[in-house]
Amino acid sequence: MQYISNTANDKKEMLHAVGVSSFDELIAKVPKHLQKFEMGVPAGISELELVREMVETGRANHHFHHYASYLGAGNYDHFIPTVVNHLALRGEFITSYTPYQGEASQGTLQSIYEYQSLMCELTAMDYSNASMYDGASSLAEAALLALRSSGRKKILIPDSVHPEYRTVVKTYLSFVGAEIIHVPSKDAGVDMAALEKALDSDVAAVVLQQPNFFGSLEEATEITQKTHAAGALLIACVNPISLGIIQPPGEYGADIAVGEGQPLGNAVAFGGPHFGFFTVKEELLRKIPGRIAGMTVDKAGRRSFVLTLQAREQHIRREKATSNICTNHSLCALKGAIYLSLLGKKGLKKLALINWKNAHDTYKKLLTIKGVKPFSSRSFFNEFAVVIEKDESSLRASLENHKILGPLSLKRFDAHHKNAYLFAVTENRTPADLDRLVKAIEGAK
């Protein structure tokens, strides 16, 4: 192992290695006001005084206890029972890492195994890996799997898939000789005629997001049938909470099902860390990225857990590796497993129904406001878009005054969606929140 010393000569060598002559040149792109940032903490104070100073500084931050959040687009404000963190943050879980020595990591391996079992049941798929980084990278890995298994070169991604997910897929597939074909949207969903036209013998997979970026529900069964008729794989990217009431991907024939696990007991947390889930049908088991924990018996006949598959380059020859994913997000995935165990089938269904009802009640109420119009005629789950014909700056100011976060402006992703906004409504939104939201929109010019 090489150690980096702290001498002036070594610093010069490191700066030279990255192509700059000084530290100032290294950070030249950082805005000046951030380069000169100072905490403003008085010098020579005690720990007690410092803690008080930090607490007062922290009061300037505002979080979901101060604001009602209508932001979603993949990261949602759900209620997290206290027991989730109480169990997940126990010392044996929070300090554990990748179980390289399976025989000494039975607890960790069992928690992964239980997580995998729950994800398979939730998605109605055959196998789950031990989790991935997030929903976007899970989708990109699914596209890579489809390319490997089919020998084909095209991936069809509808414009109704989250634009940031599409960007991640593009990055992952940039240098593997793949071609990404974008399928246009129609009424905030897949344009079926355009999809059918794009399906040819070189398509490896079609991506289906359900519900999609706009919160709309796609014609999943029909899209799957058209995809399979062309000999391609169907990759479903799903919201796990929605599966409490919406048909799971395994039942409409998806070959790969992935998604963002944040809604399952993980806080929004400034956007992460979260976890991605990745499930497949049995035919694709040997091509799955990451790792899989399995259950067996030892020589004495006792139940034991092992790492059944480890298809990354640290375990096998690089050219045979299915992924360069270096680890799984065990702690975040564990929270997801605890959360699902607490809810059970009936609890998840009840939660999904509450989300559905709250969102539809909010949608109906917003449409009674002058200047608010429908964005789509499609059914939706707990997220929807509407057009608000009001000045954007006035609308934002009014929302801020009423302590409301969101909604998300769709113009940010597509200039054609002028005055269109995406609302996410979870079980955490109350009738009082809705009243504030209505007043905020009505008060904008």
116 or 21, greater pLDDT:
116
Task: Identify the band that residue 3 occupies on the pLDDT scale cut at 50, 70 and 90.
Answer: very low
For range 121-132, the mean pLDDT? 96
The beta-strand segments (E) located in 131-200 are 154-158, 179-183
For range 120-130, the mean pLDDT? 97
Task: Identify the band that residue 317 occupies on the pLDDT scale cut at 50, 70 and 90.
Answer: low
For range 299-316, the mean pLDDT? 77
Chain segment 90-119, per-residue pLDDT in tens: 988 887 776 767 677 888 899 999 999 999
Share of the chain above pLDDT 90, in %: 74
Domains of the chain: 8-37 (no CATH), 68-79+346-443 (3.90.1150.10), 82-340 (3.40.640.10)
The pLDDT of residue 1:
39
Distance CA 226, CA 206 (A): 10
Average pLDDT of every residue of the chain: 92
In 3D, which of 341, 339, 342, 315 has the Cα closest to residue 327?
315
In 3D, which of 264, 266, 263 has the Cα closest to residue 89?
266
The pLDDT of residue 241:
98
Q: Is the pLDDT of residue 61 over 90?
A: no
Give yes or no for a contact between 274 and 134, defined as CB atoms under 8 angstroms apart: yes
Element (H, E) at 128: strand 127-128
Q: Is the pLDDT of residue 322 over 90?
A: no
Distance CA 115, CA 128 (A): 9
Task: Identify the band that residue 13 occupies on the pLDDT scale cut at 50, 70 and 90.
Answer: confident
Percent of the chain that is helix, strand, coil (3-state, to 5) = 40, 20, 40
Looking at residue 257, the DSSP 8-state letter turns out to be: E
Distance CA 389, CA 419 (A): 6
The pLDDT of residue 12:
82
Distance CA 436, CA 426 (A): 16
Chain segment 35-46, per-residue pLDDT in tens: 877 777 788 899
pTM of structure: 0.88
The beta-strand segments (E) located in 233-335 are 233-238, 256-260, 276-280, 291-297, 303-310
